């Protein structure tokens, strides 16, 4: 038994160590697993932290990229010429009202703020805006203008109690060049934020703005609870900083990831920017309106568009409307949903009353007010043809990116009064014709200095499509003849030179025979050069042009004004078989109307940078390229066109006025032209079909009538020719070319270089109203 116990004891001892070893082996995997788990956890946390840090660095980079340098792309603004008012100037009340309306001045019973005006029968009070002109800064002031009939008799600056001889009205903004994203805004700096606007924003959108660090946890929880109770999203918990982060960097899509990014970026913005800077950024970035393809951002531009007032001039009720629109710009658009917008404005006013920002009495007054917004938003660029040319003429100094981002102020020669008259006259003129596909281009310029004053490139004057005024290359027909006449006079001919209207055949370099004809297909025998010109007969000019180097002289003269573009010269150029744009025709006639002095046509006067510093000024250029005495003879012949020639309709319609001009018609009646000038203004009209089909209109029956309708709108002044001591004036018979009596039916008073007048007399044919020295005195200045 003892042996048995010893054996059991030995077995027991031998089993115990085995049991301990087994327990140790079973514990080792558990401890090792925990260590591995901790390592994996720390690794994942490290990766997550690294990813978060990298994400924060990326988000911060986006913020730095946006806020380093220029935060906003500032559209460039284009301004018309300022309206110059001075004692003795005549101006119709309707013209002054039109100018004030275009410059966003509002009529009131009594002026109280900049941008307002009041009027009585003999007196105007205009509260002008603060404005930076290219050469001076003009502070806001109340200007009193006294009128007697249509003449200004006195100008007084009531704000500074002084009489003025001269005053410039703030120019109208006629367009903008926007950045590629199509956003438009007026940028408000930190120190320009109206205190009332900030108060309303904080009361409605973020009451703890100056206490939180970008996010407001209590607001988030409160909004979450409200949404849970409602079963849908009824309240947002985003701070102004979060809204700014979303507007600047994120999409409107609602997701948890976007919300996280929004919170992170809001905190980064708070670290980087001061509270006033964040407030200004929010005010500039918030989206409020859509203007066709242009999105309107910022309270400042919305204020200007909806109320025609600057942000600082708005009363509390109008600020409340703008702030209320933030919640839903389309939903509360006051132009499309005025009732809904009124309710939203009143909700904001109620919040202001509850927050003691306004009194209960003030609240009752404000909720009764109408919205006070405009009936419709103005077009972004109401004068697309003119603005197209402005941009093209700026390209030598500024790229499209510069124009869309640098906030330039571009001052032009654009004249709103002339543009309005041009558009009205054009509308009346086009109504004469049944062809509704008839297209047009019209340009008006000051030929003394080269300023382009008004322009349209389409029968729909505000259509921003193909700009025919500067792009449509069309044959010009007889519009070439004044420059041809100049060359013929330079070669020794006079307006009284006798020529013959007979057939002409010309073999061209390609072997083809060219046989031109007169428009009426008839021959008219012998006559003077003057008579052939005013009747626009073709054959005499072709014959003279082919003799003595007339064609070569014409080409050289066109080259001097940069209008000779043809690689090969054909005799048909003598009849205007060469394409030009209406703008090029205007340049051609500028040098004719200005007695041989060439001034490049321009839209631009000055360009200022965003800080109102002068960058460019287009100087007045005038170069004597042609002989003045000869060009005055051409001008006299152009007057004859309007009195006795193809444009004599003008003499019938404007009996007491003297104009000069030339008609132009192309083959198969495809193009109708008229280029004419008054005492200062040159206007070119083209009518045609985009598919080059016949329009069945000559220069006389088409473009001339439109030109006349435009002049009727302008009350155009008679042309005055420059007196020249080298010229003497004689009355001649326009058929026979000899001296005759002013009372003769076929007579005309014409200029000649001294000693070159005819030395023989012609028989008088019939009697007409005498046109002698008294007419000459009225004609010359």
Number of helices followed by number of strands (H, E) in the chain:
24, 33
CA trace torsion 415, 421, 425, 427 (10° rounding): 80
Could you say which of 205, 270, 285, 584 is catalytic? 205
Sign of CA dihedral 238, 243, 249, 254: positive
| Separation CA 383–CA 392 (nearest Å) | 15
Length of the chain, in residues: 781
CA 211 – CA 353 distance, rounded (Å): 22
Distance of alpha carbon 430 from alpha carbon 30, whole angstroms: 97
What's the rounded Cα separation, in Å, for the pair 655 and 645?
15
First-to-last C-alpha distance (Å) of the chain = 159
Distance between CA atoms of 436 and 669, rounded to whole angstroms?
Answer: 17
- d(CA 163, CA 155) in angstroms, rounded, equals 6
- Both tokens assigned to 748: 């005309």
Instruction: Answer whether 298's CB lies under 8 Å from 186's CB.
Output: yes
- CB contact at 8 A, 602 and 393: yes
| Dist CA 776 CA 632 (whole Å) | 13
Joined tokens for residue 358:
């306004």
- CA 233, CA 208: separation in Å to the nearest integer? 22
The single residue of 76, 219, 310, 478 carrying the catalytic annotation is: 478
Burial (CB count within 10 angstroms: exposed 0-12, middle 13-18, buried 19+), residue 302: buried
CB neighbours (10 Å) of residue 501? 21
Instruction: Kindly write down the DSSP assignment for every residue of 686-717, as one continuous string.
Output: EEE-TT-------TTTTHHHHHHHHHHHHTPP
Taking every pair of Cα atoms in the chain, the longest distance, rounded to a whole number of angstroms, is 180
Q: Could you tell me where the DSSP H helices lie in 495-563?
A: 529-534, 539-546, 550-560
| β-strands 681-688, 671-677 pairing | antiparallel
How many Å apart are CA 137 and CA 227, to the nearest integer?
54
**Any catalytic annotation for residue 148?**
no
CB count within 10 Å of CB 100 equals 22
Is residue 46 part of the annotated active site? The answer reads: no
Q: Report the sign of the C-alpha dihedral through residues 90, 92, 96, 102, in that order.
A: negative
Q: Buried b vs exposed e over 400-425: b needs ≥16 C-beta within 10 Å?
A: eeebbbbbbbbbbbbbbbbbbbbbeb
Q: How many CB atoms lie within 10 A of CB 745?
A: 13
Instruction: Give the separation between CA 282 and CA 304, rounded to whole angstroms.
Output: 18
Kindly write down the DSSP assignment for every residue of 236-286, as one continuous string: ----HHHHHHHHHHS-S---HHHHHHHHHHHHHHHHHS-HHHHHHHHHHH-
Report the 10 Å Cβ neighbour count for 567: 4
Active site residues: 205, 478
């Amino acid at each position: 038994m003892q042996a048995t116990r010893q054996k059991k004891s030995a077995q027991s001892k031998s089993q115990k160590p085995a049991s301990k070893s087994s327990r140790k082996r079973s514990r080792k995997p558990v401890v090792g697993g925990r260590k591995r788990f901790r390592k994996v956890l720390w690794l994942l946390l490290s990766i997550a932290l690294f990813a978060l840090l990298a994400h924060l660095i990326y988000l911060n980079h986006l913020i730095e990229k946006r806020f380093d340098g220029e935060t906003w792309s500032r559209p460039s603004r284009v301004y018309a010429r300022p309206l110059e008012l001075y004692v003795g100037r005549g101006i119709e009340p309707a013209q002054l009202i039109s100018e004030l309306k275009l410059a966003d001045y509002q009529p009131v019973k009594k002026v109280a703020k900049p941008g307002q005006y009041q009027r009585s029968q003999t007196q105007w009070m205009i509260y002008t805006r603060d404005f930076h002109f290219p050469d001076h800064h003009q502070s806001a002031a109340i200007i009193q203008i006294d009128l007697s009939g249509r003449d200004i008799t006195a100008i007084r600056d009531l704000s500074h109690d002084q009489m003025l001889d001269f005053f410039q009205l703030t120019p109208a903004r006629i367009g903008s060049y926007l950045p590629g994203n199509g956003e438009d805004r007026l940028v408000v700096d930190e120190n320009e934020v109206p205190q009332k606007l900030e108060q309303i924003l904080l009361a409605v959108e973020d009451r703890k703005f100056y206490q939180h660090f970008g996010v407001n946890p209590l607001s988030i929880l409160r909004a979450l609870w409200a949404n849970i109770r409602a079963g849908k999203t009824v309240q947002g918990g985003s701070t102004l900083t979060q809204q700014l982060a979303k507007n600047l960097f994120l999409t409107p899509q609602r997701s948890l990831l976007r919300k996280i990014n929004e919170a992170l970026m809001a905190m980064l913005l708070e670290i980087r920017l001061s509270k006033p800077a964040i407030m200004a950024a929010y005010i500039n970035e918030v989206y409020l309106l859509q203007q066709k393809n242009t999105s309107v951002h910022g309270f400042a531009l919305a204020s200007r568009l909806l109320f025609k007032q600057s942000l600082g001039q708005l009363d509390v009720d109008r600020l409340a409307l703008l702030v209320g629109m933030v919640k839903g710009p389309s939903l509360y658009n006051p132009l499309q949903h005025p009732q809904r917008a009124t309710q939203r404005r009143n909700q904001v006013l109620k919040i202001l009353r509850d927050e003691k920002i306004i009194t209960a009495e003030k609240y009752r007054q404000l909720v009764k007010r109408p919205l006070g917004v405009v009936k419709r938003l103005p077009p972004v660029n109401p004068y697309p043809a003119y603005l197209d040319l402005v941009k093209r003429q700026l390209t030598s100094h500024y790229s499209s990116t510069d124009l869309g981002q640098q906030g330039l102020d571009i001052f032009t020669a654009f004249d709103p009064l002339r543009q309005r008259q041009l558009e009205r006259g054009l509308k009346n003129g086009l109504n004469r014709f049944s062809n509704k596909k008839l297209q047009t281009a019209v340009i008006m310029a000051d030929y003394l200095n080269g300023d382009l004053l008004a322009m349209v490139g389409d029968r729909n004057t505000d259509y921003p499509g193909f700009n025919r005024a500067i792009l449509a290359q069309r044959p010009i027909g007889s519009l070439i003849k004044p420059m041809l006449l100049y060359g013929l006079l330079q070669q020794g001919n006079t307006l009284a030179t006798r020529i013959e209207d007979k057939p002409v055949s010309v073999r061209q370099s390609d072997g083809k025979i060219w046989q031109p004809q007169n428009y009426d297909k008839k021959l008219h025998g012998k006559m003077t050069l003057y008579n052939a010109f005013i009747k626009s007969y073709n054959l005499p000019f072709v014959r003279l042009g082919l003799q003595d180097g007339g064609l070569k002289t014409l080409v050289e003269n066109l080259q001097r004004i940069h209008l000779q573009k043809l690689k090969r010269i054909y005799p048909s150029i003598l009849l205007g078989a060469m394409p030009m744009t209406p703008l090029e025709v205007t340049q051609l006639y500028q040098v004719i109307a200005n007695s041989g002095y060439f001034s490049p046509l321009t839209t631009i006067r000055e360009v200022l940078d965003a800080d109102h510093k002068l960058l460019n000024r287009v100087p007045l250029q005038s170069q004597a390229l042609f002989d003045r005495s000869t060009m005055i003879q051409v001008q006299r012949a152009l007057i004859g066109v309007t009195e006795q020639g193809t444009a004599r309709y003008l003499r019938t319609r404007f009996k007491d006025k003297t104009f000069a001009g030339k008609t132009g018609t192309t083959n198969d009646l495809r193009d109708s032209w008229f280029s004419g000038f008054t005492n200062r203004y040159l206007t070119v009209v083209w009518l045609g079909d985009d598919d080059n089909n016949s329009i069945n209109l000559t220069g006389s029956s088409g473009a001339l009538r439109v030109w006349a309708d435009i002049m009727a709108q302008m009350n155009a002044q008679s042309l005055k020719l420059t007196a020249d001591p080298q010229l003497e004036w004689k009355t001649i018979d326009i058929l026979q070319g000899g001296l005759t009596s002013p009372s003769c039916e076929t007579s005309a008073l014409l200029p000649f270089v001294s000693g070159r007048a005819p030395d023989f007399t012609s028989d008088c044919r019939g009697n007409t109203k005498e046109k002698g020295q008294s007419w000459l005195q009225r004609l010359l200045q």
